[in-house]
A and B are shown apart, each in its own frame.
Chain A
Amino acid sequence: NAGVMQNPRHLVRRRGQEARLRCSPMKGHSHVYWYRQLPEEGLKFMVYLQKENIIDESGMPKERFSAEFPKEGPSILRIQQVVRGDSAAYFCASSPTLGQLEKLFFGSGTQLSVL
């Protein structure tokens, strides 16, 4: 059973470009969480999604950031017009149902570098 898959592993963008980060949850998991790790810091919650629904986006910046988890396909974290401050590691986690934290698994992360 494959774990949480994130791609790309490394993404380089120039200022002003768009970044699209993908997360395929574990098989049977319908809950996805995105976290951001800025350099030298711990992980910060961004958004929690179920299939086709955003449940909690309290950690998402108000502008340029969006997330989706369509009925088919991976969850996408999209950052428009990237700036240097967006450089960070972005982690995705999934769980099968709400509250099953013993089954919360993280992906290996996407390292975004903005030049």
Chain B
Amino acid sequence: AQKVTQAQTEISVVEKEDVTLDCVYETRDTTYYLFWYKQPPSGELVFLIRRNSFDEQNEISGRYSWNFQKSTSSFNFTITASQVVDSAVYFCALSEARGSGNTGKLIFGQGTTLQVKP
């Protein structure tokens, strides 16, 4: 069965600190996608990144970076120099593959609530 685990329920940091959000996944598929979404207090889901299972290169986008380690089935997310506006719930998700292609059905982790204090 496919599963996504975000072991950190809540994290609190002070502004300008770096913070890493952990994500561990389980799947038997060889082809899959991993995602990170941000859910600010307003409630909408904001897409952050999608990573193909064949692409293990780490990615950096401004203050955000992602570390994909297939050997440990982890896809961790780091925010550098955190800001108050980063306060949100962050979800890691795994796509479900079926047959010849991905279905678009995502398996979400429980989410990590990040609070950045000024």
Q: Which residues of A are in contact with B by a Cβ distance under 8 Å?
A: 31, 33, 35, 41-45, 48, 55-56, 89, 91, 93, 95, 98-102, 104-109, 111
Interface size of B by Cβ–Cβ distance < 8 Å? 24
- Selected from B35, B44, B104, B108, the residue in CB contact (under 8 A) with A99 is B104
B110 in the interface, Cβ–Cβ < 8 Å?
yes
Interface residues of B, dominant DSSP = strand
Q: Is B105 an interface residue (CB 8 A)?
A: yes
Q: Which residue of chain B lies nearest to A95 when distances are taken between CB atoms in the complex?
A: B104
CA distance A95 to B118 in the complex (A): 38
Contact B101 A98 (CB under 8 A): yes
Interchain CB contact (< 8 A) of A104 among B4, B104, B108: B104
Within 8 Å of chain A (Cβ to Cβ): is B33? yes
Contact between B103 and A43 (Cβ–Cβ < 8 Å)? no
Q: Report chain A residues within 8 Å CB of B104.
A: 31, 33, 48, 93, 95, 98-101, 104
